[in-house]
Amino acid sequence: MTTFHLPNAETYLAEYDRLADSLGVPHRAPAPGEVEFLREVTVRERFPFSMMTGAELFFAGGVASLLAPRLAIEIGTASGFSAAVLGKVIAMRAHESGRPLTGPLLHTIDLKTEDKRATTQPIGYAIAQVTPELQSQIVVHPLRDSTYARELVRGDELTLAFVDGNHQHPWPLHDVLQLQSLMPSGWILLHDIDLPHFAGDAYTPRFGAKYVFDSWPDKKIGAGNIGAIKLPENRRSLGQLVAHLRELPSEVSPNGWKKRWQEIDALLPRLA
């Protein structure tokens, strides 16, 4: 596995070509204004509602910049900060190519309606603070889970997704499988791939994202507590992944566990 550490803009620029190699895309320069934007949003004092470190934001931003998707989907909105960052980078690539922003660039989905971590706010509230000009292109979908993604995708436009919702096993597996079923190819970003280590004794560790990332059967790259997994050309290997992760202890309630696995099992025939 290729790993990165991107603590600042200077390292980001120095590692940009290596990140392109790891993603299997042609070398290119960052979009105009991209580095300055990422440098700005990684100043924690300015954006205290961020749940991602500066190094994680540079990694996620770099993946979005190099893949330059027409559409991305995020699972787990919370404040909407990561959606704003990814949406802005994608928009910068669209502007660079001359492509008009006529529809959504990013859909972000959350089971909740409110983010209650600091002060109670509606989910996605940070989008208006970080990228107010993109509020019509970054669309928030409350009271939904990843099964709703199929209502938002047409054709083969989805090539990048970000999973950062419920981290209890098997939720991340469920989210990844739902998204990959809509993607002909591409990459999925996963946050909190080493949450038990980074959380320490702060709260009960959640292993769901770690299980998926560690057992992923195709190419993957990582940057500490965030990573990206490449969708395999032959999806049969994902059936083997499901079989392996089914043996690991569930971290959700019995009723939630049963529903998630039923939805996962419904996707298995497509992986044959």
Give tens-digit pLDDT for 161-178.
999 999 999 999 999 999
pLDDT for 55-111, tens place per residue?
999 999 999 999 999 999 999 999 999 999 999 999 999 999 998 888 899 999 999
Give Cα 239 distance to the centre of its chain. Answer: 22
Q: What is the DSSP string of the chain?
A: -EE----SHHHHHHHHHHHHHHHT----PPPTTHHHHHHHHT-TTT-TT--S-HHHHHHHHHHHHHH--SEEEEE--TTSHHHHHHHHHHHHHHHHHT----S-SEEEE-S-SEE-SSS-EETTTHHHHH-GGGTTTEEEE-S--GGGGGGT--TT-EEEEEE-S--STTHHHHHHHHHHTT-SS-EEEEE-TTHHHHHTTSS----HHHHHHHH-SS-EEEETTEEEEEPPSSTHHHHHHHHHHHTSPP-S-HHHHHHHHHHHHHHGGGG-
Q: Tell me the average pLDDT across 229-248.
A: 95
Q: What is the pLDDT of residue 255?
A: 77
DSSP-derived pairing of the beta strands 187-191 and 106-109: unpaired
Total domain count for the chain? Answer: 1
40 band by pLDDT with thresholds 50, 70 and 90: very high
Q: pLDDT value at position 99? A: 87
In terms of pTM, does the model score above 0.85? yes
Q: What is the CATH number of the domain that holds 112?
A: 3.40.50.150
Q: How much is the mean pLDDT over the chain? A: 93
For 111-140, what is each residue's pLDDT tens digit? 999 988 767 899 999 999 999 999 999 999
Predicted confidence band of residue 51 (pLDDT cuts 50, 70, 90): confident
Give me the pLDDT at residue 200, please.
63
Q: What is the pLDDT of residues 181-198, one digit of tens each?
A: 999 999 999 999 998 777
Report residue 48's pLDDT band, with 50, 70 and 90 as the boundaries. confident
- Which range marks the domain in which residue 57 is found? 2-271
